[in-house]
Amino acid sequence: MAVMEGDGVFMQPVIRHVVWSVLVPAAVGSVAAMGICLWWVPGGEKVPTPIRNTRLYQAVHHPPVPVSSPLVLPSAPVPAAPSLPVSSAHDPIATREALNLPSFAPLVHQVIPAVVNISVSRGSPPTDDEPSTQPKTPAARKVVPIPAPHRRHRRQKHHTVRPADDDLTGAGSGFVVDASGIIVTNRHVIGHASRIMVSLSDGRSLKARSLGEDPMTDIAVIKVDSPTPLPSVTWGDSRQVEIGDWILVAGNPFGFGSSVTAGIVSAVGRDLGSGALDDFMQLDAPINPGNSGGPAFNLQGQVVAMNAAIASPSDGSVGIGFGIPSEIVAPVVESIRKTGHVEHGWLGVTLNDASAPMWVEDVDPHGAAWQGGLRKKDAILAIGDVPVHDARTVLRSVAAAHPGTVFNFTIRREGKEMTLPVTLGKRPVADF
């Protein structure tokens, strides 16, 4: 085919126009679009797969370093702890409230200033006709259960020695019940002491003197003279205490003063076989030698028991401690403050509750029961308007009453019921 010389001259401007107006803009647009896909799209999530597989894209976006699978499988999801308000981050009280955690700190601050440590020096040993409060053998220092069915306990007396100096031979606890310096403790803590020293929570040590004691209940009252009123605590009603209630115990265990432990009331009405007034409150708060005479508080800061005994094969706490209820301690303390001693009622009778109703097994011809008309084989039905079913309840009520109190016994004799007013006598010293 023949080509005219003029055709080449005509086509050159057309080609240049097509290149610059169509092809060059198209190429520039493609490169710009690729740049946007490679660099401007965040993370490349929207980049098409063909472009993502190109060497250029992979050169710009380096693949992540491979991570091996975990060696331990993840556990079940754990619920997140409740978040605390920012304001409670440095406030322990707000933290406890936010996490609903109990704290005895406010109660401790309230009552611990009234709890004291007691150290005693012993004089000459007691004579043969004066009963000793010291254990004669190591076994006498433990509350040891006797096998069932008739399980009884020997009372644990906390006479742990705390060698503060050569003269000191004993230590215990107590608590102030009057700002004038009236202190309550156990009789066995201060028994036969030639000197009694009381260490207060403010660091002072004061000499104390005995106001009186009651061998039957193992309660003693001492007094210190202070130029300023002392912090004191009040009595609570132990009759309102229920099994499972919280309890706070304070005292001087093993000589470590100003110690507190907490627990619950495990049982009430325990009989340890130490006397007619046995009615102990069982506590699982740790009580150790040296806690004797210390208080047990309810959550209102009131004294509902006084620590007195533990059950342990090793003289240490195993979670079984015993306290004398305040309903027994408070009247005894008040009587000692007024008169220096305590008088307990006495009936002079032996009761048998092996069968119902219980009956009189023996009567002392010189006792109050005989003078009031009670005789052998009389069946005891009630005292006043209260029916009675066991001998322990009757004897405890009698021992808690003052001599001269009249008890109206409803009895059955030879098939006939009658009421006998019996005036209680004074319990002989030998009965302690």
Q: Where in the sequence numbering do the catalytic residues fall? A: 188, 218, 292
What are the C-alpha distances in Å from 153 to residues 140, 262, 264, 293? Answer: 11, 24, 21, 20
Question: Which residues, at least 6 apart from 168, have a Cβ–Cβ distance to it below 8 Å?
Answer: 119, 120, 121, 162
Q: What is the C-alpha to C-alpha distance for residues 11 and 312, in angstroms, rounded to an integer? A: 120
DSSP secondary structure string, 186-199? Answer: EHHHHTTEEEEEEE
- 305 forms bridges with which residues in the sheet? 296, 325
Helix (H) or strand (E) holding 248: strand 246-251
DSSP 8-state assignment for residue 211: E
Question: Which residues, at least 6 apart from 369, have a Cβ–Cβ distance to it below 8 Å?
Answer: 347, 348, 349, 360, 363, 422
Q: What is the C-alpha to C-alpha distance for residues 133 and 157, in angstroms, rounded to an integer? A: 8
Q: What is the C-alpha to C-alpha distance for residues 415 and 413, in angstroms, rounded to an integer? A: 5
Structural contact between residues 225 and 263, judged by C-beta atoms closer than 8 angstroms: no
